[in-house]
Structure 1
Amino acid sequence: MPVYITQVRPRWADMDVFHHVNHAAVVTLLEEARAGLLFVQAARLGFAELSNGLVLSRLEVDYKGQLRYTGGEVYAEVSIENLRHASFVVRHTLHTGANAEDPVAVTARTTLVPFDVSAQRPRRLSGAEREFLAGYQVGESVG
């Protein structure tokens, strides 16, 4: 299964009164993990078009366990599913620690839509963008 692997680091200030990373901070960690794939990795491989504009149209977060602040990084997996002409879903998994063997704390799916910032409207994915995203795809695509 094609998966982008990265590390994200919760901050001490991300903890809530119950000593686990709060929901808003988890959403930020998910954003950091997918930005590593969609902006950093894409640009490194010559597919920088995605950084021209993406908007989030849906977010689903499932908590499988507690994500606690430890001062260290947590292991994050990112892949693509439901690749369509004008949207795609990013699948995220955050573990409780820095290794793949650590238990899963959070799974999430974010639906992203390419956006033309100058025209202020959604747009279709380019062929190059689809090619890049397909390299990390799990599941079926349309078109």
Structure 2
Amino acid sequence: MPSHAAVDASHLTPGPLDIPIAVRWTDLDAYGHVNNAAVVRLLEEARIAAFWQPPAEQLALGAPQPPAALPISGAGSALSTVIASQRIEYLRSLEHRRDGVVVRLWLSRLGGASLSVDYLVLTRDDPTGATPYARARTVVVLVDAGTGRPVRLEQETRSGLERFTGEPLQFRD
């Protein structure tokens, strides 16, 4: 497997990343709340914004650079990711917000070929996260795009990602 660029996180403060995500009108259900399936999308958009490197031609056109890029870059890449599991606890109803939400995320576990991303769904008026709307965890596995077999995180990538590790969330039993 070829070597992949290390995560350059030297300019970032260690710890969780706060990723602003828009809440769309179409995210609402018949009760006026953000639908549970839409919350999965909010988490996915935050994860992509934090860890997935856009192709070079998109970066040249102004696409934002992720704070901590995994060694993958979409279609045609030698590596890809699969979601092994996802757990979400909805703590209170989230209604439409024109100011969107802030998805706070961090890595609660760095395994051999996988990582666990923990999240809190917050709003800008609760920057301390005292009353999150949801908490969640996604287990992401790095795989060889051709064979589908897990691929171990290289030490350079692991070292860069360690800046974004934190304590695992506690879920209800």
State whether residues 20 and 101 of structure 2, in contact with CA within 8 Å, keep that contact through their aligned partners in structure 1.
yes
- TM-superposed CA distance for 1:73, in Å, is 1.4
State whether residues 51 and 68 of structure 2, in contact with CA within 8 Å, keep that contact through their aligned partners in structure 1.
no
Structure 2 unmatched runs, 5+ = 1-13, 55-64, 74-78, 169-173
3-state DSSP of counterpart to 1:119: coil
Tell me which amino acid in the other structure corresponds to 1:104. P
Question: What TM-score, normalized to structure 1?
Answer: 0.85
After superposition, the CA RMSD in angstroms is 2.3
Equivalent residue number for residue 51 of structure 2: 38
Give the whole-Å Cα distance in 1 for the aligned partners of 2:68 and 2:134: 30
State whether residues 38 and 50 of structure 1, in contact with CA within 8 Å, keep that contact through their aligned partners in structure 2.
no
Give the alignment partner of residue 136 of structure 1, picking from 155, 164, 170.
164
Query: What is the total number of aligned residue pairs between the two structures?
Result: 138
Structure 1 unmatched runs, 5+ = none
Whichever of the two has the greater Rg, that structure is: 2
3-state DSSP of counterpart to 2:98: coil
Q: Equivalent pairs: percent with the same residue? A: 27
- TM-superposed CA distance for 1:46, in Å, is 7.9
Equivalent residue number for residue 57 of structure 1: 84
Give the whole-Å Cα distance in 2 for the aligned partners of 1:47 and 1:30: 17
Tell me which amino acid in the other structure corresponds to 1:108. A
Which has the larger helix fraction?
1
Question: What TM-score, normalized to structure 2?
Answer: 0.71
State whether residues 74 and 98 of structure 1, in contact with CA within 8 Å, keep that contact through their aligned partners in structure 2.
yes
Equivalent residue number for residue 115 of structure 1: 143
Equivalent residue number for residue 11 of structure 1: 24
3-state DSSP of counterpart to 1:21: coil
- TM-superposed CA distance for 1:77, in Å, is 0.5
